[in-house]
Amino acid sequence: MEIADALKESYIKGFLNEGKRADSRGMLEFRDIRIKRGTIDHAEGSAEIELGGTKVLAAVKLVLESPMEDTPDQGNLIINAELLPFASAEYETGPPTPESIEFARVVDRGIRAGNCIDLKSLFIEEGKAWTVFVDLYVLNYDGNLLDAGEIAAMSALLDTKVPKYEDGKAIMKERVKKLKVDNIVASTTFGKIDNYLLLDMDGNEEKVANARITIATDGENIRAMQKGLNGSFDKSEIEKLLDNSFEHYGKLKKIIQNE
């Protein structure tokens, strides 16, 4: 195991020292993004993303619940993630790991901070509101779960139709209108290997990276950021990555909206 990792490291750094990446991509270039929508018809909305070898399925279920005590006029948004044990040789069955918890919370942060779903629009009448559950199912890991998850979640929300509400009950078989999505947030995750800055690391690159930073924007504002791994960034590196994140927004938004 140790030897294999060391070989991986020299393999990847060999390319970087020549200004290249193993799969011939540019340093700040995404892999191809493919999205299939509506694949799970039991779910009110769904989208499956392929980002290189990374495959994430996002499914949305709407549940009729009473609003929370301190927010009586709105519904809820809850985002969960599961790293399925078959998605990678290194994943195991068991309770949520810190990685999977961080993944869900960071995806949630960008979408919530961007006010993508107007929680007030989920309110039906006193004591009744929709809770929007978004479950991120990682089917295959090949790096950059954070962006794959966020883009899949946004696409699934755009695919979501709200069930009919009648006489105090939800009629799940009948879906009557699209979920109101007010904003599109797009996520870009960068990594640092030695002093090289890369966008959308694949599985091998992630093993070798010493620092990582996720930046989620809506084109005008930075909505969420999360630095990860035990390396560091200085302010000028972060500024450069913020620039690049905003540059990518337009294209990512089109992909999410299926244009």
Partner 1 sequence: MASSLNKPELLKNGKRLDGRDFNQLRNLKIEAGVLKNADGSAYLEWGNNKVIAAVFGPKEATSKHFADPNKAIIKCRYAMAPFSSLEEHGRTGPNRRATEISKVAKEVFENVILLNEFPGGEIDIYMEILQSDGGTRAAGITAAAVALANAGIPMKDLIYAVSAGRIDEHIVVDVDMLEDNYSDADMPIAVSPRNNNILLLQMDGGFTRKQFDEAIEMALESGKEIHKIQKDALERCYKNINEK
Q: Which residues of this protein are in contact with partner 1, per CB under 8 A? A: 70-74, 96, 98-99, 101-102, 104-105, 109-110, 112-114, 213, 220-235, 238-239, 242, 246
CB of 134 to partner 1, least distance (A): 15
* Residue 38 or 231 with smaller CB distance to partner 1: 231
Give the nearer residue to partner 1 in terms of CB position, either 68 or 171. 68
For residue 43, give the H/E element and its range. none
Rg (CA), the chain: 19
Please identify, using beta-carbon distances, which residue of 155 and 226 lies nearer to partner 1.
226
Q: Measured between alpha carbons, how far is residue 173 from residues 15, 38, 47, 185 in Å?
A: 53, 15, 19, 30
Nearest to 187 by CA among 25, 22, 21, 30: 30
Least Cβ distance, residue 171 to partner 1 (angstroms): 28
CB of 174 to partner 1, least distance (A): 30
**Cβ(156)–Cβ(66) under 8 Å?**
no
At its nearest, how many Å lie between partner 1 and the CB of residue 101?
5
Three-state secondary-structure class, residue 79 = strand
By C-beta, is 35 or 241 nearer to partner 1? 241
Nearest in space to 120 (alpha carbons), one of 67, 161, 157 = 67
